[in-house]
Amino acid sequence: MLTIWLIPAASRSLGLTFCESGILGSIINRKLQVVASKNFSATGLPSTSPCLSVENDRKDTLYRSIEIEIASGEPAVLLSYEWFASYTAKQLGITVGKCWAPPKPHHNRLTLLKSIHIYKKHRVQYEVRTYFRHMTYERLTESTLKTFLEYIQRNVPEGVAVKQITFEELEIPESILKTVAYPALTSALCNA
């Protein structure tokens, strides 16, 4: 465990100086002294600071599935990115669901004048095609989802838009459980 200590220069006058040559390899600045060490603290005790080793005690959220929609003007780029994302999911142990693309791209046509000073009959028409692909990944935990999304979002090619939709699994509230379980329980007791 590598610990980095930031110590104000004023504390050096209190006797909290560190060995400046050799073992710790400290770097002295005018106002800060940065010391990189292994399991070392100013008091001589092991550096297991509670602020550094705080563990999360909350439950990991479960997601039933996540749908990722990618859009671009080039279908080959989308196909390549889909392969990359699916390969990454397999390496992380994520179940790959359905991957599909709509049969036709979205066409956006613009009819404009050739020049701002030209008559209405001199026009040109532009067309922008947007291709889409959808990928579904199933049964994820929150930590796995964050890791997966961060990795694939950092490696998005130029000109590709990414949209995600997550489907979270929630526990049934106790108020609903009581109303649903009570009639079933009473009918089971009456039949016995």
Do 29 and 66 reside in the same domain of the chain? no
Residues 96 and 157: their CA atoms lie apart, in Å, by: 21
Position 107 in a domain = yes
**Same domain flag for 30 and 119:** no
Q: Tell me, yes or no, whether 146 lies in a domain.
A: yes
- CATH number for the domain including 83? 3.30.70.600
d(CA 138, CA 167): 9
pLDDT at 60: 85
| 73/148 same-domain check | yes
Q: Is 46 a domain residue?
A: no
The answer to whether residue 183 sits within a structural domain is no
**Residues spanned by the domain of 87:** 62-169
Domain tally, the chain: 2
In a shared domain, residues 12 and 87: no
What pLDDT is attached to residue 182?
A: 61
Q: Is residue 47 part of a domain?
A: no
Mind giving me the DSSP string for 124-183?
Answer: EEEEEEEEEEEEEEEEEEHHHHHHHHHHHHHTPPTT-EEEEEEEEE-PPPHHHHHHHHHH
User: What pLDDT is attached to residue 131?
Assistant: 98
- DSSP class of residue 43 equals T
Q: Burial-class residue 94 by CB neighbours within 10 Å (0-12, 13-18, 19+).
A: buried
> Does residue 8 form part of some domain?
yes
pLDDT for 26 equals: 37
What was the pLDDT predicted at 117?
86
As averages over each run of 10 residues, the pLDDT of the chain (192 residues) reads: 36 40 37 39 45 58 96 96 97 96 95 86 93 97 95 96 94 80 60 62
Q: Are residues 137 and 71 in the same domain?
A: yes
pLDDT at residue 173, as a whole number: 82
Assigned domain for 177 exists: no
**Domain match, 158 and 70 both:** yes
Residue 118, pLDDT score? 79
Provide the phi-psi class of 25: left if phi over 0, else alpha when psi is between -120 and 50, else beta: left
Neighbours of 81 (CB within 10 A): 21
| Residues contacting residue 79 through CB under 8 Å, at least 6 positions apart | 133
Q: pTM value?
A: 0.60
**Is 24 in the same domain as 78?**
no
- Whether residue 189 is contained in a domain is answered as no
